[in-house]
Chains A and B, each alone.
Chain A
């Protein structure tokens, strides 16, 4: 399972797994979309950005934080992310549709991505991490 919710009292804690680092990052984005836009499905809008950041948790934290920024300022309900790692960081494409209150209001606003507990580890099946969304 790419991501599953773990119990956390104040916020939303997700365990994210992927068979590759790319999948791990894309699944972490998916976990975030499942919280923010549970009803979004269409891919009508594409947002592209690049990040220059050292790899590992810093890059993941920056990637997910950037998603929060673009979702808000571009008013987009997102449903998928495509990640390509580069020598200096990553480039990303986010897919979604224009935010519509009638359709997308059922999601939960994520205020930020906490660093608490974020640790990318190798497993027998690939990669795994915890990600905590402040709601």
Chain B
């Protein structure tokens, strides 16, 4: 398998047709020589498997945070033509619209005082971890609006501002959400969880802008050196997980009905034009809209803490941007010189639209879309911008994070959560979590170095560095 990989550029590699049986197009991935040692055969196979699906356009793709997942590899991108292409939950994941947002403040490191005190207050206020419930219980009517209007609901209810919507991918709502394709089970899980962080690799982090690479873009995004920012990483919670589970079953049957051979059962899919495909797309939109509402609610709670502690107004804590990294969206891209409508799946990959494209925030038409790349716990996160290179090479896509190199059990064997907490504290980083195990699983050495991953996308021209942010305090579930 690995011997079939062909190098096409300093950071570009190809899996030729024939790497696995029935590939319709080649696979392509972005990686440096330094990171090649982290490439797993399982992930390569998954990238090749995407290319077997009907209607796949140009290439199956993977970003430099590629690692072994299920269905698509993490870091996988697949674009499908509308007429004969398919949609698959294996290209989205259970956590629909898992994503990340960055909020700026007017504070600098010296303003923070006792970081641990602020962090503890955030930990007390933001529902975090397994089994937690939201501070609000959404009514059925609220839930319907959340699923169809997304973050717009939060603005109407006083949990956000109009400006927040303008600085969010899709303005916090994908159109076409249809609540009739969301089960009662999903609704039951969703109602008590809107505004909860979850667990695993989800987190809320206080960060400081350490370095500006692109002053013009940084100014357009509202970022300056030394500034304190808050990064929030979470998704659609039980509602999204249940929607994926429910539709996976329907699409498994649909794959047989439409006689689509599957290299991996998790690639269960249906034609985009089929009732089953349309049902999943519209239910997935419901979950995506819920996730944007979720992140907006958590940002609202964060603003409340900072407002109380530092006497700040919401306007002084603007949203820098919010990106999703688990979604399938209908987008227009140039394919062989022709404007073509595609269903672009990004599973552990982020949209990175370049200058002049649609859905850019105000004042960013010549800059490109902000892209947020969280680092692993204790390492740098990055703010990037989308590029024309991404539009040409990757359907406007880039990486989503550092990418795991160790399994959770391997990570726990290498160091205890307490040791990691102490080491990070010595480096000036405070971590609060409900258990040492959850810290150990997310240890920094379980991930690729975020700087190297970001270097690859920057050098490959599929997004460009704007700023680097370092963690000061983390709360995780």
Contacts and interface: CB of A to CB of B under 8 A. Distances in A.
A106 interface: yes
A107 interface: yes
Given A36-B130, A69-B189, A112 B238 contact: no
Interface string B275-304: 000000000000000000000000000000
Contact of A113 (B131, B245, B435): B245
Contacts of B244: 112
A72 B410 CA distance: 28
| B interface SS class | mixed
Nearest to A118: B265
A105 B242 CA distance: 21
B189 A115 contact: no
A12 B408 contact: yes
A112 B408 contact: no
Contacts of B404: 9-10
Contact of A7 (B129, B188, B249, B410): B410
A72 B238 contact: yes
Given A108-B408, A115-B266, A99 B40 contact: no
Contacts of B435: 105-106
Contacts of A115: 70, 248, 252, 265-266, 268
A65 interface: yes
Given A73-B188, A112-B94, A134-B94, A104 B131 contact: yes
A62 B407 CA distance: 26
A116 B155 CA distance: 40
Interface residues of B, number: 47
Contacts of B437: 106, 108
A9 B407 contact: yes
Contact of B70 (A5, A61, A114): A114
A69 B408 contact: no
B70 A11 contact: yes
Given A69-B189, A134-B93, A105 B131 contact: yes
Number of contact residues on A: which range applies?
35 or more
Contacts of A101: 129, 131-132, 434
B314 interface: no
A103 to B, nearest CB: 11
- Which of the listed residues A10, A11, A58 has the most CB atoms from chain B within 10 Å of its own CB? A10
Contacts of A32: none
Interface string A6-28: 01111110000000000000000
A34 to B, nearest CB: 12
- Which of the listed residues B189, B198, B268, B408 has the most CB atoms from chain A within 10 Å of its own CB? B408
Interface of A: 5, 7-12, 36, 57-58, 61-62, 65, 68-69, 72-73, 75, 99, 101, 104-109, 111-118, 132, 134-135
Closest 9 CB pairs between A and B? A112-B94, A106-B435, A105-B434, A115-B265, A116-B70, A111-B94, A114-B70, A116-B266, A9-B68
27 contacts: A7-B410, A8-B68, A9-B404, A9-B406, A9-B407, A10-B68, A10-B74, A57-B265, A58-B249, A58-B252, A73-B185, A73-B188, A75-B131, A99-B130, A101-B129, A104-B130, A105-B131, A106-B438, A108-B199, A108-B438, A109-B130, A109-B199, A112-B248, A115-B265, A117-B70, A118-B265, A135-B408
Interface of B: 40, 42-43, 67-71, 74, 93-95, 129-132, 185, 188-189, 198-200, 238, 241-242, 244-245, 248-249, 252, 264-266, 268, 404-410, 434-435, 437-438, 441, 477
Given A69-B242, A99-B131, A112-B241, 10 more contacts: A5-B409, A68-B241, A73-B185, A75-B131, A108-B438, A109-B200, A111-B95, A112-B245, A116-B265, A118-B265
